[in-house]
Amino acid sequence: MTSPSVPRRTSILAAIRDGIRGTTEDLTQGSLDRAVVLLAVPMVIEMLMESLFALVDVFFVSRLGADAIATIGLTESLLTVIYTLAMGLSIGATAVVSRRIGEQDPDGAAVAAVQALVIGLLVSVLIGGLGAAFAPALLRLMGADANVLRIGTGYATVMLAGEASFILIFLLNAAFRGAGDAQVAMRALILANGINIVLDPCLIFGLGPFPELGVTGAAVATTTGRFIGVFYLLWSLFREGGRLTVRRRHLRIEWNAMRGMLQIAGSGTFQFFVSTASWIGLTRILATFGGQVVAGYTVALRIILFALLPSWGLANAGATLVGQSLGAKDPARARAAVMLAGRYNMYFLGAMAVVFMLFAEPLVGIFSSDPVVKQTGVHALRLIAAGYPFYAWGMVFTSAFNGAGDTRTPTLCNLLCFWMWELPLAWGLSRIPSIGPDGVFAAVAIAFSTLAVLSGVLFRRGTWASQTV
């Protein structure tokens, strides 16, 4: 007799295979489990590739010492402001494109993608020039000492000047995800990562014909890989046969479409600014304990992001299904998609929390043998991972609001949980001599757990389902 679990297992494996290969089926109809898997699998791989950038850079740069690691940590804290813009713009792109796809309006989706690309290009030109000009001053502002400035100015300058590479890759990926064509975004980041992995050791250590650029080489490798990923996405956007295809007639500015996207993106940008600025604040608090503590925190954060970014893949799958389901006038399917994605996310992050608790020391030890760096990294990894099951639901609920175009609710939640709760708590706990830097790590776990509970309560009210885009 055939086990009743076999057909389900077979269907899940088929959905995983189709999710990687790509499919043109309508995600507003049929099995919700299959729809979530079709979207989540390429999105999880995409986010794994995103987190791999940071891990690879830290892995090679760690061979240059704690000051080199601290350079990446401080620069990444600066880049979080730019990530904020990229994430905010991507929220607008995903919300509008997914809604148009759900309404069976591919031309509207293509026009929305063009508006997102124009906005991204304009923002990139402005920020890239300012970032390159003021890179050393910004590092000083973040508390960099003389050694970090000497080693890291080139790295910060290249990363800030080349920020267009990740603004555009975020935006274009968001448009493809909103259309349900997450496989394109996945392939772009696989390509970009492959180039970064090859170029990183060559440019950092001067292998073969390449110049020895030290930590600056990591920035050149990352920026080069991302730009090549952008070119692949543009090629995919203009080719025939995809879910999202831009043709010559779509190459125009439509002020109403751009205004609607900017309204969502503006609120979404502030939402992520609140969140990312809190990370800058946390890094600034930790900088008072010295470069080794910042380095340990940087290592732990890279490992933490390796789990959280794939988890965002599940959250993004929920956001896409919310947008498409609301476009198809099916809010019940949107709600069910969020609950399913949240449950899968909880299983995943709960398992990762157990792994990090048990294996924190060997994981941090991969990146540094410095005793202070290692001790700080282990403490950070265990304390922050303690809140993972809560983070899982908070991420999905936040993405659901954004996918519906309701960016105001998660913005208010972030203000309350991060600026009014997390930062004061981190400062107060870290000033207690017996707690020190551990107080910052504990504050992160407490604040994200608070956010999960608050956003869950607000999601149950259901006002997001009436949001127009």
Distance of CA 126 to the CA centre of its chain: 22
User: Each residue of 157-194: pLDDT tens digit?
Assistant: 999 888 899 899 989 999 999 998 889 999 999 999 99
Distance CA 352, CA 335 (A): 26
Query: Coil, strand, or helix at residue 369?
Result: coil
Among 106-120, 123-137, 192-206, the least confident range: 123-137
Q: Looking at residues 372-398, what average pLDDT do you find? A: 92
Among 67-71, 207-211, 402-406, the least confident range: 67-71
Q: Looking at residues 342-370, what average pLDDT do you find? A: 91
- pLDDT for position 302: 78
Residue, of 5 and 276, whose pLDDT is higher: 276
User: Quick check: 3 pLDDT over 60?
Assistant: no
Around 292, how many Cα atoms within 13 Å sit in the side-chain half-sphere? 9
Q: Tokens representing 153?
A: 């100015």
Tell me the residue length of the chain: 469
Please give the mean pLDDT across all residues of the chain: 88
Dihedral of the alpha carbons of 322, 324, 326, 328, in degrees to the nearest 10: -150
- pLDDT for position 10: 60
- pLDDT for position 298: 85
CB distance 277 to 82 below 8 Å:
no
- How many percent of the chain have pLDDT more than 90? 50
- pLDDT for position 2: 40
Q: Tokens representing 258?
A: 């751009």
Q: Looking at residues 271-290, what average pLDDT do you find? A: 86
Residue, of 397 and 74, whose pLDDT is higher: 397
CB distance 86 to 165 below 8 Å:
no
- pLDDT for position 1: 40
Category of 104 on φ-ψ map: left (φ > 0), alpha (ψ -120 to 50) or beta: left
Q: Looking at residues 454-464, what average pLDDT do you find? A: 93
Q: Determine which helix (DSSP H) or strand (DSSP E) holds 104, and give its type and residue range.
A: none
Q: Looking at residues 369-378, what average pLDDT do you find? A: 90
Helical H segments across 3-31, by residue range: 5-21
Split at pLDDT 50, 70, 90, the class of 61 is confident
Category of 22 on φ-ψ map: left (φ > 0), alpha (ψ -120 to 50) or beta: left
- How many percent of the chain have pLDDT more than 70? 98
CB distance 185 to 42 below 8 Å:
yes
- Closest by Cα among 317, 391, 313 to 349: 391
Q: Looking at residues 73-92, what average pLDDT do you find? A: 81
User: Each residue of 388-443: pLDDT tens digit?
Assistant: 989 999 999 999 999 999 999 999 999 999 999 999 999 999 999 999 999 999 99
User: Each residue of 302-347: pLDDT tens digit?
Assistant: 788 777 877 888 898 999 999 999 999 999 999 999 999 999 999 9
Cα 27-171-452 angle, rounded to 5 deg = 70
Q: Determine which helix (DSSP H) or strand (DSSP E) holds 415, and give its type and residue range.
A: none
Split at pLDDT 50, 70, 90, the class of 8 is low
C-alpha pair distances (Å), 303 with each of 365, 373, 414, 436: 11, 14, 23, 22
For the chain, the domains span 30-466
For residue 19, the one-letter residue type is G
Distance CA 211, CA 446 (A): 45
User: Quick check: 241 pLDDT over 60?
Assistant: yes
Distance of CA 252 to the CA centre of its chain: 29
User: Quick check: 387 pLDDT over 70?
Assistant: yes
